[in-house]
Amino acid sequence: MYKLSLDEKDESVIKDCYEKLNLLFIDLKKTEVNCFLSKENDKLDIYLEIHAGAGGTESQDWADILKRMYLKWFDKKKFNYEIISEHKGEEAGIKSSILKISGINLYGLMRSESGVHRLVRISPFDSGARRHTSFASVWVYPVIDDSIDIKFDDSELRIDTYRSSGAGGQHVNTTDSAVRITHLPTKIVVQCQNERSQHKNKETCYKMLRARLYEYEIQKREKDNLKNLESKTEIGWGHQIRSYVLQPYQLVKDLRNKTESSDPEGVLNGNIDKFIEAGVINR
């Protein structure tokens, strides 16, 4: 068709051929990515945690931008999500957010997003319009079902209750319904505040803790645990997996597989497929 349209100089058919070829290459890329999603855990749903690094309002705003980027990508993929817990910043942004997302092969697609993400931009909060560097961490771990047996002793847990910080009317401000559980041997912390009932929040926390301990054991078996823990515990210089530079030039670059985009605005609006795909293929 393309050769015939060139001979006949039929621009409309040439344009149609290019469109069909682009769709074909997109399908080929999806097929290639799916070939790498063969591990038993790849099909599982995920919890997604985002935490602001040091730096106050700057980092909290960056954490909120990252959350928005992922939510836009989830919407484009028609994945379902809910916010489990979220702590707002004093002036802007978020200190942390935990989401549960459901979709096909989500853990396989998203697991490479775990790590520290770095932003360089002219700060909207700086009256001197100076360039700032901000950090936020992303942590992805699988939602496990009841068939996976993860045991822990209640004596190893510290359970705290507190008042929810989000919107929700009088109940949120008067009842200690939010729950935080710390697993003392591993220092893993989970929290939930999206339910009105403390009992339901505690039940969700137990599910999240089982998922986190399962992920911990997976990483331990793969001998990647130490490296991953280091990248998640120190949210700052030298630990970032991806940089988003808005000033003095425009570039998003993954430091592990060298994937780049010169359209950071598009990336921050949820166009992250090339980074997700590279993470799957190169993991």
Q: Is residue 229 part of a domain?
A: yes
Q: Are residues 31 and 50 in the same domain?
A: no
Q: Are residues 58 and 15 in the same domain?
A: no
Q: Are residues 81 and 11 in the same domain?
A: no
Q: Is residue 272 part of a domain?
A: yes
Q: Which of 243, 235, 241 is nearest to 118 (CA)?
A: 243
Q: Are residues 233 and 269 in the same domain?
A: yes
Q: What confidence score (pLDDT) does residue 232 get?
A: 55
Q: What confidence score (pLDDT) does residue 27 get?
A: 86
Contacts of residue 180, defined as CB under 8 A and 6 or more positions apart, other chains included, come to 159, 160, 161, 162, 189, 190, 191, 205
Q: Are residues 13 and 135 in the same domain?
A: no
pTM above 0.95, yes or no: no
Q: Is residue 247 part of a domain?
A: yes
Q: Which of 229, 130, 221, 228 is nearest to 187 (CA)?
A: 229
**Owning domain of residue 25:** 2-36
Q: Which of 118, 73, 68 is nearest to 93 (CA)?
A: 68
Q: Are residues 12 and 98 in the same domain?
A: no
What residue type is assigned to position 157 of the chain? L
Q: Which residues of the chain have pLDDT under 50?
A: 168-173, 225
- The H or E element spanning position 231 is helix 225-233
Tokens 């939510």 sit on residue = 71
Half-sphere exposure of 157 (CA within 13 A, CB side): 17
Q: Are residues 144 and 100 in the same domain?
A: yes
Q: Are residues 229 and 112 in the same domain?
A: yes
Rounded distance between C-alpha atoms, residue 144 and residue 63, angstroms: 26
